[in-house]
Copies of this chain bind each other. A is one copy, B any other.
Amino acid sequence: MTKTLIFGHKSPDTDTICSAIVYADLKKKLGIDVEPVRLGELNGETEYALNHFNQEAPRLVETVADETDEVILVDHNEFQQSADDIDQVEIKEVIDHHRIANFETKSPLYYRAEPVGCTATILNKLYKENDVEVSETMAGLMASSIISDSLLFKSPTCTDEDEKAARELAEKADINLEEYGLEMLKAGTDISDKSAEELISLDAKAFDMGEKNVRIAQVNTVDTSDVLTRKAELENAMQKEVDENNYDLFVLLITDILDSDSTVLTVGTEKESVEKAFDVKLEDDQAVLEGVVSRKKQVVPPLNKVFG
């Protein structure tokens, strides 16, 4: 029997990385042979969280079928967001908080999805259901995931359950949620050493919407104008991705984590769909979406509706 691999989505964010580590911790404590791995580079925010809790990063892999028959997915289910050879292994479990699409299995499995703001919120429940104590480090990683996915509870994806779990976990991890959280989020906004290609792929997901293929990337910032000084460079990189992958639309959300607004840049033949979906006028392929911080809750559904 080979080791079961646990991993989150491509272009990993803090929840995807930490949830893989944390669920592997729980599984090991339940006597199951697993290893957390990751499908992409860490972002600055996740590095900050792992460093703070002295946690090693999961091993980087590109494919999985060459080393295991069985995998567990956290924080995603859509195959295009998963390992390239996901269809060649058996998915034993999924722990997730997203819609279900482009996903199927040949056999019954354990699938636990809840409409909460963060995978870690569900994992915190699973420790309780299995009567396993949460360590200080695991508590810190789960709190970091919730801070990240909820932008410190400001995102409309954040539920009461998420906030309650974060406060409980912060206590166990001995951190001040607001102070630690703001430092962690800021650590993710330093883009000075990032190429445009990196910026549009660090937190990017592809979606099948109706007949269309849509890519949505997100960059957090504390200074939108600073990011926009690189607009031409970012749009060139987006156009290249559109050409190479036949995306019908590429949307880059530049999200101000202090003001909780996003500025969008758009590339692709379906740009006008953004105007329809958000009732805005694009000027020079750019618009401000007021109060929009969540790709999942505020960007995917209205675009999906337009592409229906």
Contact = CB atoms under 8 A, between A and B. Distances in A.
A31 interface: no
Number of identical monomers bound together in the oligomeric complex = 2
Interface residues of A, number: 23
B296 A108 contact: yes
A99 interface: yes
A175 interface: no
A113 B106 contact: no
Contacts of A106: 99, 301, 304
Contact of A113 (B99, B109, B114): B109
Contact of A114 (B100, B110, B296): B110
A4 to B, nearest CB: 14
Contacts of A107: 99, 115, 301
Interface in A39-58: none
A109 B102 contact: no
5 contacts: A99-B108, A107-B115, A109-B113, A112-B113, A129-B129
What 9 pairs between A and B have smallest CB-CB spacing? A111-B113, A101-B104, A108-B115, A99-B105, A100-B105, A110-B114, A111-B111, A99-B107, A99-B108
Interface of A: 97-115, 129, 296, 301, 304
